Amino acid sequence: MLGVVIVLLVLVLIKTSPNYVVAQGDGGAGAKHVFAVVGNRANNREPFYLVDTRQEVIMVYEYGVQGDGLGLASARSYKYDKQLEQYGRSNFGPKVDKIKKEKRKAKK
């Protein structure tokens, strides 16, 4: 379930046109915990996102369409990110603390 949520989040973050592909690996060894998303080309590079839900890692590769080949651009474990209640400077939506207070009030 977490893998599906992550893939959907990645899609929302990178989808700017209908030119994307999502694949779930089978790999013959039951690698259904690995998802791949191909992003949109920018600056002669095509991003390729690989999400491993078992290892809790997101990897970003870039393919240089002018013969540069495929290379790892970035990788990050989201294992500890999941423990954050809130992160960032966005004012989108209510703060976690405010929701907790309202919920406590409703229980009383």
Contact yes or no for 59/48 (Cβ under 8 A): no
Mean pLDDT of the residues in the chain = 77
**Can you tell me whether residue 46 is helix, strand or coil?**
strand
* CA distance linking residue 34 with residue 37, whole number of Å: 10
Q: Does residue 7 come out as left (phi exceeding 0), alpha (psi in the -120 to 50 range) or beta?
A: alpha
How many separate domains does the chain show? 1
Stretch 90-98: mean pLDDT:
80
- Domain enclosing residue 24, as ranges: 2-107
pLDDT, tens digit, 9 for 90 and up, residues 55-91: 999 999 998 878 888 899 999 999 998 888 888 777 7
Count the neighbouring beta carbons within 10 Å of the beta carbon of residue 6.
20
Answer with the residue of higher pLDDT: 88 or 102: 102
- Band the pLDDT of 43: cuts 50, 70, 90: confident
Does the pLDDT of residue 42 top 60, yes or no? yes
pLDDT attached to residue 72: 94
Q: What 3-state class would DSSP assign to 15?
A: coil
Closest by CA to 47, choosing from 64, 32, 34, is 64
